[in-house]
Structure 1
Amino acid sequence: MNTGLYLLVVLIWGTTWIAITAQHGQFSPVIGVFWRFAIAAVLLMSFLCLTGRLRRLSSTDHLYCFLQGLCVFGFNFICFYSAVAYINSGLESVIFSMAVLFNAINNRIFFKQKVSIYFVPAAVCGLVGIVAIFWHDLITTRLQWQTLLGIALCMLGTYGFSLGNMISIRHQKQQLDVASTNAYGMLYGAGFMGIIAVLMEQEFFPEVSVQALVALGYLAVFGSIIGFAAYFVLIGRIGAGKAAYSTLLFPLVALSISTVWENYQWHAGAVVGVACILLGNYILFKQPKWVVALAGRRS
């Protein structure tokens, strides 16, 4: 089951970056985030109510759901939606891969969890692979303030996502239902985005293309309801560090789609990068003995 959840997260979230790009210029970042999670919250809440699966939460639990809504279903996505104006979606997914490191750090800070001996070499392989794949894009991107702003927004959004992961761990330690906490979190996140939109006097119903509406529907149902449910269940089953390693595979999905639809040209760096990422996955999940032996020699 873990493998199935892992692949589901990779496939769904690996394609959401393209959907976010498809909305650029159609919705403002605040309105785009509002509608994405408002639709997701209504659909998920309705399903849970009709099936009798919506669980009651304490006031403290609701507070944490509100915080999770801000971190995962609100401000972090405003950062990502805004960054599309400055950097491409592929580079966004590269920066989002930093969630692996942020989760390891935050796990240590909030839960005193030791970092696995397999995590460091796996993360290094993954990050080296990501850099190799996008090295050409990185060195040809003009280093101007807009690019730096886009990178900073993605880093901030990724750290917010990581904080939301920590709240999810807290929920599951309290044995709370993942679907219910997600539903409330999305509701609170969308509500807060709606308040911001009103204060900014933004248009809730702008004229948009059919493509943008399809992208919105995909992001709400697959990217939000299904994707987040699978990801947070995965956190409960294998831990935030291993679950976040899936973010290193997102760019591979984007590259595969780009190969078919945008005639992406594979190069030596991309091949090396894919090999490094696959090696990192192998180290993290198979935990070969030679990694421990190598670490022992170095120590």
Structure 2
Amino acid sequence: MNLFLFVSTVLIWGTTWIAIALQVGDVPVVVSVFYRFATAGVVFILGLALLGRLERPSAGQQKWVLAQAMCLFSFNFLCFYMAAGYLASGVISVIFSLATIFNAVNARLFFGDRITAKTLLAGGLGVGGLMLMFAGDLSGAGTGEAWIGILFATCGTMLFSFGNMVSRRNSASGLSPVTANAWGMCYGALILMALIWASGSEFILPQDPVYIGAMLYLAVIGSVVGFTTYLMMVARIGSAKAAYATVMFPIVALAISTFVEGYSWGVMNAAGLVLALCGNLVMFTNLSLRRKAPQMA
């Protein structure tokens, strides 16, 4: 079961980055993210209701579902969508692979998990690889814009990691990932609606079938299915090990970016990718996909 969840998450989230890039354009970023999670929330709630599996979080759990919504279903994706305006989708996925490191550190801070020497080695290799990979993007006239994209993508990844910690806490307290996701996506849509109102952004109804197709893929496959498989892994094997799925995202995403976006390869960024993946693979080595009960703080 854990292997199935792992493979499913990699294939789904490895392809969502190009779909995010396809949504960048005339529609304001916050509106695009709202469309995604409003659709996902409605599909999730209706699906669970039809299956007779719709549950309501208790009053004490509501604040944690809201925290999960803020970290996983709203602000983090605003960062990723903004980053997509400055960086190729495959490059954003490489930054997102740092969730492996962020989760290890945050699991130590919030749950007391031990950080091993292997984690420190992997972190050093990963950072070194990213520096090589971005050397070309940060040179010349594009330096400022590349840094903006990197900053947004890094902030989104950190928020994602915090969301993992909240989800792990929710699962340990008896709130299933399916229930937390369904209500969390609805809460995320409400947060985004409030941001749209506060910012004065215009609701633009998309007419482009490519945009609509990308939005539906992101909402149903990327959000409803992808987040469920990933957070089920968090509940079963822990946040640090579940984040190893991000090791494989750049391979899938950069392959797609090469053919669809014309992402160009050179010696430096190719070597950087290899080094970054080696850093993550250090953590991936000897990964056990056996069930591990989450710990409570």
* TM-score where L is the length of structure 2: 0.86
From the CA coordinates, give the structure whose radius of gyration is larger. Answer: 1
Q: Quote how far apart the aligned CAs of 1:249 are.
A: 2.4
Work out the percentage of aligned pairs sharing the same amino acid: 41
Once residues 277 and 86 of structure 1 are traced to their aligned partners in structure 2, the CA distance between those partners, rounded to angstroms, is: 21
Q: Quote how far apart the aligned CAs of 1:243 are.
A: 1.7
Q: Quote how far apart the aligned CAs of 1:157 are.
A: 1.5
**Root mean square deviation of aligned Cα:** 2.5
Counterparts of residues 217-236 of structure 1 (less than 5 Å) = 217-236=216-235
- 3-state SS of paired residue (1:243): helix
Once residues 279 and 81 of structure 1 are traced to their aligned partners in structure 2, the CA distance between those partners, rounded to angstroms, is: 27
Change (3 A) 1:28 1:142: same
CA contact 2:247–2:281 (8 Å) conserved in 1: no
Per-residue CA deviation, residues 191-221 of structure 1 (Å, 9 max, x unaligned), is 1111221233333343431111011001101
Per-residue CA deviation, residues 122-149 of structure 1 (Å, 9 max, x unaligned), is 44444545555555444467222x3333
Once residues 86 and 264 of structure 1 are traced to their aligned partners in structure 2, the CA distance between those partners, rounded to angstroms, is: 13
Aligned to 1:79: 79
Once residues 140 and 127 of structure 1 are traced to their aligned partners in structure 2, the CA distance between those partners, rounded to angstroms, is: 22
Aligned to 1:175: 174
Amino acid aligned to 1:226: V
CA contact 1:130–1:248 (8 Å) conserved in 2: no
Query: Bigger shift: 99-108 or 227-236?
Result: 99-108
Pair 1:202-2:185 in alignment: no
Tell me the matched-pair count.
Answer: 287
Aligned to 1:241: 240
Once residues 180 and 71 of structure 1 are traced to their aligned partners in structure 2, the CA distance between those partners, rounded to angstroms, is: 16
Give the unaligned 5+ runs of structure 1. Answer: 289-299
Aligned to 1:162: 161
- 3-state SS of paired residue (1:142): helix
Amino acid aligned to 1:63: K
Write 1 or 2 for the structure with the bigger share of helix.
1
Per-residue CA deviation, residues 37-72 of structure 1 (Å, 9 max, x unaligned), is 010011111111111112232112111101111111
Aligned to 1:27: 27
Once residues 212 and 14 of structure 2 are traced to their aligned partners in structure 1, the CA distance between those partners, rounded to angstroms, is: 19
Counterparts of residues 90-109 of structure 1 (less than 5 Å) = 90-109=90-109
Aligned to 1:291: none
Once residues 133 and 147 of structure 1 are traced to their aligned partners in structure 2, the CA distance between those partners, rounded to angstroms, is: 12
Aligned to 1:152: 151
Q: Quote how far apart the aligned CAs of 1:4 are.
A: 2.4
- 3-state SS of paired residue (1:232): helix
CA contact 2:89–2:257 (8 Å) conserved in 1: no
- 3-state SS of paired residue (2:143): coil
- The ranges of structure 1 where at least 4 consecutive aligned residues each deviate by more than 6 angstroms after the TM superposition are none
CA contact 2:136–2:269 (8 Å) conserved in 1: no
Query: Bigger shift: 122-131 or 227-236?
Result: 122-131
Give the unaligned 5+ runs of structure 2. Answer: 288-297
Pair 1:46-2:35 in alignment: no
Aligned to 2:115: 115
* TM-score where L is the length of structure 1: 0.85
Amino acid aligned to 1:177: S
Amino acid aligned to 2:247: L
Aligned to 2:294: none
